[in-house]
Amino acid sequence: MSHTQDHADEPHLIPYGTYIGIWLALCMLTLVTVGVSYADMRHMTIIVALLIACAKSTLVVLWFMHVKFENRAIWWFLIATILTYVTFVILTFADYSFR
């Protein structure tokens, strides 16, 4: 095991500036999502809002939670979890979307 993950033992130093950049991007996206919500897009509103939320959370997960530099097991864990959750949602709507 020791050979495959030594890189994970030493913290990957991310410059302060990078974090601040990510924060600025997150704030911008927040303002965008608020702005967009005032535009009348009918049922597209919620989809756009969720897409922006997904973009924001990707930034948080990859940089703030440093998954970008995490070992591969965490990547797989995260993908499995997200897939599981998405499956739960889709299958719940296998009932509700036909009601």
Partner 1 sequence: MTTQALPDLGEVDYIRAGGGPWSWEWLKTTDHKRIAIMYLLMIVAFFFVAMTLGLLMRAELLKPGTQFLDGAAYNRVLTLHGVIMICLFIIPSIPAIFGNFALPIMVGANDVSFPRLNLASWYFYVAGAVLALWSVGAGGVDTGWTFYVPYSGNTDANVVLPMLAAFLLGWSSILTGLNMITTVHRLRAPTMGWRQMPLFVWGIYATSWIAVLATPVVGITLVLVLFEKFFGVGIFNASMGGDPILFQHMFWIYSHPAVYIMVLPAMAVVSEIVPVFSQKRIFGYRFIAVSSIAIAAIGSLVWAHHMFTSGMADEGRIIFSFLTFFVSVPSAVKIFNWLATMYKGSIRIELPMLFAFAFMFLFSIGGFTGLQQAALSVDIHIHDTSFIVAHFHYTMFGGTGTMFFGALYYWWPKMFGRMYNKTLGMIGFVLFFVGFNTLYFPLFIAGLKGMPRRYQDYLAEYQGYHELSTYGSWIIATGLILLVLNLIGCMRWAKWWGSDAETNPWNAASLDWRVPSPPPVHQFHEEPIITDGPYDYDIPHLGDDDSKAAPAEVQA
Partner 2 sequence: MSNAAAHDDHHAHYGVPGYDPVAWKMGMWLFLFTELLLFGAVFIAYAVYLETYTWHFTVGSAQLSIPIGTFNTLVLLTSSLTMALSIAALQRGKKELSIKLLDMTVACAGLFCVVKAFEWGAKFEHGIYPGSEHLLAMARGEQMFFGLYFTMTGIHALHVIIGAALILWVRARIKSGAVSTERITFLDNIGLYWHLVDLIWIFLFPLIYLVA
User: From CA 90, how far away is CA 44, in angstroms rounded?
Assistant: 18
Q: Is residue 55 a contact partner of residue 32, using CB atoms and an 8 Å limit?
A: no
Q: Copy the structure tokens of residue 28.
A: 């911008």
Contacts 24+ apart (CB under 8 A), 72-79: none
Task: Work out whether 87 is an interface residue with partner 2 (CB under 8 A).
Answer: no
Task: Work out whether 96 is an interface residue with partner 2 (CB under 8 A).
Answer: yes
Minimal distance in Å, beta carbon 11 to partner 2? 5
Task: Work out whether 12 is an interface residue with partner 1 (CB under 8 A).
Answer: no
Q: Copy the structure tokens of residue 95.
A: 């009932």
Task: Work out whether 71 is an interface residue with partner 2 (CB under 8 A).
Answer: yes
User: From CA 12, how far away is CA 87, in angstroms rounded?
Assistant: 33
Q: Which residues bind partner 2 (CB under 8 A)?
A: 1-2, 5-6, 8-9, 11, 13-16, 19-20, 22-23, 26-27, 30-31, 33-34, 37, 43, 45-46, 49-50, 52-53, 56-57, 60-61, 63-65, 70-71, 73-74, 77-78, 81, 84-85, 88-89, 92-93, 96-97, 99
